[in-house]
Structures are given as C-alpha cells and as structure tokens.
Structure 1
Amino acid sequence: MKGKKIVSTLLVLLLASLPVSALAAEWDIGKGDITVNAGSGGQTVTQGSQVDVPDSAPVITGSSTENTLTINAEKDQTANVTLSDVNIDVSSEGKAAVTTTGEGNVSIELNGDNTLKSGKGHAGLEKKNGGKLTIADEDKNGKLTAEGGKYGAGIGGGDQGAGSGITITGGEIKATGGQYGAGIGGGKGDGSDITISGGEVNATGGTSGAGIGGGYNGNGSDITITDGEVNATGGKYGAGIGGGEYGIGKDIIITGGEVNATGGRFSAGIGGGSRGTGSDITISGGEVNASGGVNGAGIGGGLRSKGKDITVSGDTKLKVQGGDEDHYDGAGAGIGDGGSNAYGTKILGAEVEPDTSGLTTNGSIAYYAPGADMENDKPTSITFGTSSQPEKPIEPAVPEQPEAERGMDAPLYRVTDKDGRDIVYMAERKDGVLTVNVDEDFAILTGRLSGIRTLKVQGVEKIIFVTKGAASVFLLSDLLEKGESGDTYKLTHDGKSVTFTLGKKMTDVSAILTKL
C-alpha cells in the first residue's frame, strides 16, 4: 500500500512538472475573448483571469455572439492554433470574429465544423499579420465557413485592407465576402500572394468583389492554384479569379486541380473585374472552366477592357466562355477582350490567341458560345495541343516519378537546334535547381517568362544549362525582373560562346548569368 502511494505521488509530481503547452488545452470562446501570442519565449494564451498561460497548441472551441479570437505572431515567430467546432458570430457587433496580427506567421488547423461571421468593416477571418496565414486540415476532418461584413472579405482584408499572404492547403472552405469585399483576398482593396494547394474551396465575392482576388477597386495578382477543387464566383462586377470592380487581374497561375471561375456582371471569369484588364495568366495543368459575366471575357478583360499575355500549356483541359451581350455592349471573348460599344454599335470582345506552344496532345481548349451550357452543349471550336517533344532521357529528382517530372517541365521550356527543332536533353531537379544537360556543341534553351514563373512556383530557384563546350547559370528571379510574362528568352550555347537574349528586341540579359 505504501509503495502504491509513493508511485501515485511521483506521478502527480511528474504531471505537475510538465509544461501546460504539452497538454494542448481547450479554450472555450464562450467564456471570454481569447488572445494567443507567439513570441521569442514561446506561445501563450490569455483569457479572462488566465494571463499568458503557456500553450503551444491551443484548441479553440465553443460558441459566442460577443467574444472574439486574436492571434498575434511576433517577428520570426509562428502562432499555431486549432479551431475545433467553434462558432463565432459577431456580425451585429462591428467586430472581427478572428483577427491575426503581428509581423510573424499564423497557422490555423481545422477540426470539425467552424463558422466565423464578422461585422461591418471586417473580414470573417481577418488577416492583419505581416507574415503568412496558412489554413490547413491535416486530419482531413475540418470545415470553415467565413463571412465578412460590409467592406470585408470572407478571408483576408477588412475595410480598405489588402488581403495578401494567404495559403490554403486543405479543408472544406466556404468564404463569402461582404459588400465590396472578395471571397478570399481584399476587403475593398487588393488581393495578392494567394495560394491554394488542396482542399475544397468555395469563394464568393460580395457586390464589386472577386471570388478570389481584389475587393472593390482592388487588383487581384500573384494568385496560384496548384491542386484541390476550387470554385470562385465573382460578386456583381467582380471577376471569378482576379480583380474586383475597376480592378485588374494579373500574374495568375494554375498548375493543377479542378477550377471553376465565374465572373460577375461585366467581369471576366479569370482576369479583370468590371472595366479591368486581365494579363499574365498562365494555365499549365488541371481541369479549368472559365466563364465571363455579361460583357466579360472567359479569360482576359472585363467590360471594355483588354486581355493579353495568356498562356495555356501542359495537359490542361480548359473550357472558356465569354459573357453575353447586353442592351448596349457586345459579348465578351472566350479568351481576350471584354465586349464594348462604339457610337451605338455593339462590339464583340476581340479573341486573343493564347500561347499554346507548350500545350501537349493531351491538352485542349474548348470554346463555348455565350449563354451555352458548357456541360451539355457542344463547343463552337476546340484547340488541341500539338506539343510532343521527342522521347528524351529525363533523370528526375525523384526516380519514382519520372512521368510527373516530364509532365511538369516539358511544356515550360524547350531545347532546340539552330532551326528551332527539339533535340534530346537530360533534366534533373534537386534542391531547387533544374539542371539541363545537352550532348551537343550547339543548343538553345528557350521559353516564355510565364513558364519561368510557373517553374518558380513549383520550387525551382536556379537553372543550370550545360552543353559540350559551355555551362550557364541564372536565377529565375533575376530573369523575371527583366520582362513580362509573354516575353521569350533564348539562352544559346555555340561551342564555348554564350548569348542570352529576351523579347522581340533580343535584349541582351547575359549580365544575370553567374558562375557554377
């Protein structure tokens, strides 16, 4: 009996000595406001009389119509929080349900069914921290519904606030912007640096807001989708993916997943909002459907606005449809410009031929008439890919996935002879470096900057080009700074001679080459 008491006493002492952070405590939002702070000394939680309680993995639960959650991450720190069946509805209080602050990063894990509804001027999940906001669902059991108040995004910025640095890797997400706010992105402001790599994401803009991108008068840029199921619907006058009303959509990259983008009135499916241009749009994989709202292009410009520098490559299966005409302006293009009017005459949006030089024989672009049912009606035309580089020995960074490596790289760059014919090469990716080897004295590494941008998204930072007589090295970021997405680069090796040019004017950019 005495021995058992000693063991019990030791067990109690051991548990008491463990830091609270190891217990991942649950915190009920119904008991008061909660503040999580990640600092250099660790992460703490404050609620009511419990002040700065160490907890590295707090789990927020419960319901409230008045209390809110603030997650603060100091510089160079990451705050980690789990939302577990939490319901915060402060839509009548003029507050944000959840706010992220500080200069660091915030990571939110989803468990169960979570709902965040905010009041006027605030996003449902309001991002104000300077670093990244990452929303994940590691256990694949999480949902999040986030609704912004007037001027607020569903997830992103509040009134006049930009929504940037947002990454979604999983979960079932439903983000709805309030009036003037994007579903994901800006709240009456810009939306940028947004990445979706998994999960099921449904983003709907409020009036004048994009589904994903800018709010009212806000641009949508640096938006990347690599995987998952994404349904982006613009509010009235907002693009599906891109700009809000009067906002442009640019630097939009889709490399995989199932993506459905529907523009609001006068707006593109992917590209500009009403009166906004759409440019530098690259689609290199996945199944993508893009439909413009009235007068808007499927991909490109909104009402009376241009679309340009659009690239479709890889095994992409793309369906596009311009928006209908109305009583004053013409219908939008499938890919290109929005509809317009001249002296009382309706003008159809001009079709712009995308760069399909890297579209494989497995890829296609199907064009549908405005108003057609893209599921049941026949397309008016189909463009099939023709790119079929000769079989070449590619030595991938991951030997188990040679086909995946070939599928990613082949459409994004080419290796040719003097006459522009494809020649055999070997490619290897490792630690952010793409090495291209050619067993020839003369060879040209060529492609568009849109392909370079896609490679960078896939994790490539540096390219090494090696032939029999020369070796060249350059950073992708250095080359991207020199031109626009539609510009073509040519790195030419002729024996020991090396030249590097960019664009139609063949501008010399050899200064960015570095040594091995």
Structure 2
Amino acid sequence: MEDTNTVITNSDKDKASSNTVTIEAKDKDDKVEVTLKDVNIDTSSRSEAAVSVTGEGNTNIELDGDNALKSDIYSSGISSSGSLTISGGENDSLTAQGGSGADGIYSSGSLTISGGTVTANGGSGGGGDGGDGIWSSGGVTISGGSTVTANGGDGKDDYGGDGIRSDSGDVTISGGSTVTANGGNGGNVSGDGIRSDSGDVTISGGTVKAAGGDSKDGYGGDGIRSGGVTISGGTVNAAGGNGGKVGGYGICSFARVAISGGTVNAAGGNGKNSNGGSDGIISNDIDLSGSLELTAKAGRPNGKAISWAGHELDLDTIKDKLGPGAKVTATDANGETKQVSSPIPRPVEPEEPEPVIPEESSSSSDGGSATPSAPASPLPGLTVTDKDGQRISYTSTQSGNTLTVCVGRLTASLRASLATLRQLRAEGIDTITFQTILCSTTLSVDELLAMGGEDAEAVLTHRFTDSSLTVG
C-alpha cells in the first residue's frame, strides 16, 4: 500500500507544539510519504518521541523549511521501527534532539538521508550513558549532497554516545555529502565518531569529519570504528579522542582498512598512562593503493601511525601500489615523519609508427609508365634525431632529382653535413624534402651549400607544424 503525501505543520509558527506526531507504516510492503513543513515540536513535558514512526513499512519524511524536534528523558527526537528515509532540498533542515540518554534519531530498520540539512543530537546521560546522535539497526546511508551533523551525548560517569552508530548494517557516505560525526565525552569510555558494530564503513566522496570523544579518567573514543573501512574518494578526517588512561584510534577496523583514493587524515588520541597512546590507523589487514593522499599520526606517548598486525607498517612495502600523485605520510609518537610518494609523470610525446611511403608512379599519354622512384640508402653524415637528440631510423626515397626523407614523429630533426650535401649534389640531387607527421619542408641543396663552409652542418627541425633551419 502507498499512502498519498501528508503535510504536517504547526498551527502556531511561533510556539512549539507538545503533541507527538505518529506515522504508521504497518506492513512490510507499506510506503508512507510525509512532509514536515516548518514543524516545531517539543515533547519534553510528556517523555515521548516528538515523531514516532510505527510498523514495519517504509517511511519517507520530506523536509520543507526549518523543522525542530525535541524530546525528554529516554525519548528520541525521531523514533522509527521500520525503514526510514529523510530527504529535502538545499534550504530544508531538521534538528532532532534526544532526551536525556536518548538518541537524536533512532531507527530499528535502515536509515537513509538523501538530501537537506540534518542535525541529530543525542541527549547527555547525566549520571548514565549519553545517547547517540544517530542510531540504526539496519545501516545508515547518507547521499545526495546531504549535510549531516550527528553529536553523541556526554556520559558524565559512564559512556559517551556515538555520533553515528549502526548496530548491524553498513554506514555508507557518498554523493558529495558533508558529514560531521562527534562522539560524546565519557567518564569511563567516550563515544566514537562513526561506528558500525558488525558492518562496514564505506566512503566514496564528500567531506567527512569523525571525532571520538574525550575521557577525563578512562578511554577516548575512536574516530571511525568498524568491521571494515573502505575509502575511495572525498576528504576524510578521523581523530581519536584523548583519554585519562588511553586515547582512541583514528581509524579502527576489526577486518580490513582499504584506502585507494581521496585525502585522508587519521590521528590517534593521546593517553596519560605508559601505554596510553593510540594508533592513527589499526587493522590486521591494511591495503593502501591508488592515488590516495594519506596522513597518519600516532598518539602520545607510544601509539603507532599505521599499525598493521601489531607492527608499524613499513611504507617501503606499499611503494609499488601507489598511483600517480599519491603520498603517504606517517608521523610517530615522537614527531618523526616518514613519507613515500609517487610523482605525477610528465606528459610525453606519443610514439607514432613510421609512415609507409608508397612508391610514386606516373602514367604517360601513351599508356606507359615512368620508372618508379628507388629507395636511397642512408648516407654517412645524413641522420635524423628525435626531440631528445637521439638518432632514429627513417625512410628515404628518390624521385628524379629530389630526395625525400620521412619519419613518423611530431618532432624530429634532419641533420646533414655540407660535405654530405656536396656528395648528394654530385649524384644529381637538387632538392631535399623532409616530412614528419604534421609538416613537410623542401630545401635547395645549392642554397644550403652557399650558407656554410666545408665543416658546417645543416639542421632542419620540425615541431608539430613549425619548421626551423640552422646552418653552422
């Protein structure tokens, strides 16, 4: 079943409503379309979610104008039991504020944000845990140029909330979106910026900033924490939080970290005990390739910049996998930096096959034919060089009193000593024609001989369609 679009708005634009909005998508195949138009809902006095989406179906909430949702203790700004999609235009926005210890946006199905500006704040925990900015059981997808800010709530004595957390699905960011995800500070353990417990984090474009929260007495949160992390484009900054004991990782993967493009900065957080520094990147399987630009920094006092299977990654082992323009920089806990890079090659003139010059023939009026031109053997002192001055082969043919020299290059030079030209003149050659791919020049042997002495050399150079002659 597919419902027609329902528009929800405030009757009094200047006053927040305390009424909960309930959207029902009962069955799995149901699809419900709802527009929030300049909605302002505050259910703090009722301890209920500002917007509650029930059922197993698919709900699309389209944003129109500026919308604000606020809830109270243990209640989310938006709570959905099915699959939820939030969309909007460039000037449309939503702010969802969770109550104390609750999530800004909660979805027990998948969550997709495909447009608009969305801010989701988890509520602070007071004496308990902080809520997540965004929590989903079925994965989080952000695309379509969305601007998303997700802040985990602080946990004063226990755990800080995560910025974006997927309990069992992937977190995917693409399409030029801008995502900022901050873990909340925690008394014991701080929240992560982006976290996927049993799925992967995949970033293929846009700008992503993920920061773990700080912990005064315990453990800092990770910037990105996931089963696997794949980054192929965009700009990604992942920073672990600082900890009273141990700092958080910049990027932490239980399976594999693969970075093949984009600009990535990963920094481990600092800790205060003897083993308190965390790694910029940590995984048992790290694949760095392509035209990436990666900067990894270790946390103090003893973190690693790039920790591969418990050891600092040797950058020399990845040189052959780097693409043009790639650069990987690793800074250890003492501030010492190592770097490998792959330069962008300069364009080179394409090598073209030598042209095949057909033998010329002409027909006489009585049906006979003239004698075809015969190939001329290369002569000492008559050479052709490429743009770097290296000698190359050429094809020469003689037709009557004209010697034609051909080479399949865009840039080449014909070189002949005047002694060689005198020998050619004695053999009946009056003119020399030099042909490259885009240029043809014909010179008089007598005129060349008149330009220099016995030991002089004539150099005729073609560069694409231009030609130049020097004798000396």
TM-score, scaled relative to structure 1: 0.52
Q: Which runs of 5+ in 1 are unaligned?
A: 1-18, 45-54, 244-248, 273-277, 301-306, 326-330, 340-348, 373-378, 392-516
- Distance in 1 (alpha carbons) for counterparts of 2:322 and 2:332: 22
Q: Which moved more, 1:199-208 or 1:250-259?
A: 199-208
1:359–1:387 contact (8 Å) kept in structure 2: no
| Root-mean-square deviation over aligned CA pairs | 3.5
Greater share of residues in helix: 1
Q: Summarize deviations over 1:207-263 as a string: whole Å, max 9, x none.
A: 32211006xxxx4740111111111001133554433xxxxx431111111110001
| 1:320 pairs with one of 296, 308, 323 | 296
CA 1:383–1:285: 2 relative to 1, 3 Å = same
Letter in 2 for 1:293: G
1:183 counterpart residue number: 163
- Distance in 1 (alpha carbons) for counterparts of 2:130 and 2:24: 24
Pair 1:156-2:134 in alignment: yes
Pair 1:364-2:302 in alignment: no
Letter in 2 for 1:171: S
Structure 1 residue 65: Cα displacement? 4.3
Structure 1 residue 123: Cα displacement? 0.9
Q: Summarize deviations over 1:132-152 as a string: whole Å, max 9, x none.
A: 2111226xxx34242344335
- Distance in 1 (alpha carbons) for counterparts of 2:31 and 2:256: 41
Q: Which runs of 5+ in 2 are unaligned?
A: 271-276, 349-472
CA 1:136–1:233: 2 relative to 1, 3 Å = same
Letter in 2 for 1:79: N
2:357 counterpart residue number: none
| 1:70 pairs with one of 36, 52, 55 | 52
Structure 1 residue 335: Cα displacement? 0.5
- Distance in 2 (alpha carbons) for counterparts of 1:164 and 1:240: 21
Counterparts of 1:372-411 in structure 2, within 5 Å, are: 380-385=337-342
Q: Summarize deviations over 1:119-166 as a string: whole Å, max 9, x none.
A: 23421111222xx2111226xxx3424234433543333xxxx65411
Pair 1:33-2:3 in alignment: no
- Distance in 1 (alpha carbons) for counterparts of 2:5 and 2:105: 27
Pair 1:285-2:289 in alignment: no
- Distance in 2 (alpha carbons) for counterparts of 1:177 and 1:191: 18
1:321–1:333 contact (8 Å) kept in structure 2: yes
1:252 counterpart residue number: 229
2:378 counterpart residue number: none
1:310 counterpart residue number: 286
CA 1:34–1:60: 2 relative to 1, 3 Å = farther
Number of positions where the alignment pairs a residue of Structure 1 with one of Structure 2:
307
1:22–1:56 contact (8 Å) kept in structure 2: yes
Pair 1:133-2:111 in alignment: yes
Q: Looking at CA atoms only, which structure, 1 or 2, has the larger radius of gyration?
A: 2
2:327–2:340 contact (8 Å) kept in structure 1: yes
Q: Summarize deviations over 1:307-340 as a string: whole Å, max 9, x none.
A: 3211111111100111011xxxxx111101699x
CA 1:351–1:332: 2 relative to 1, 3 Å = farther
SS in 2 for 1:293: coil
2:238–2:251 contact (8 Å) kept in structure 1: yes
- Distance in 1 (alpha carbons) for counterparts of 2:169 and 2:213: 18
- Distance in 2 (alpha carbons) for counterparts of 1:20 and 1:123: 28
- Distance in 2 (alpha carbons) for counterparts of 1:65 and 1:146: 15
TM-score, scaled relative to structure 2: 0.57
- Distance in 2 (alpha carbons) for counterparts of 1:60 and 1:126: 21
Counterparts of 1:214-293 in structure 2, within 5 Å, are: 219=197, 221-236=199-214, 237-243=219-225, 249-264=226-241, 265=243, 266-271=247-252, 278-293=254-269
1:358–1:385 contact (8 Å) kept in structure 2: no
Pair 1:165-2:139 in alignment: yes
1:332 counterpart residue number: 303
Q: Which moved more, 1:112-121 or 1:19-28?
A: 19-28
Counterparts of 1:5-154 in structure 2, within 5 Å, are: 21=4, 24-26=7-9, 30=17, 32-39=19-26, 56-59=34-37, 61-66=39-44, 68-72=50-54, 74-75=56-57, 77-82=58-63, 84-91=65-72, 93-102=73-82, 104-109=83-88, 111-129=91-109, 132-137=110-115, 142-150=117-125, 151-154=129-132
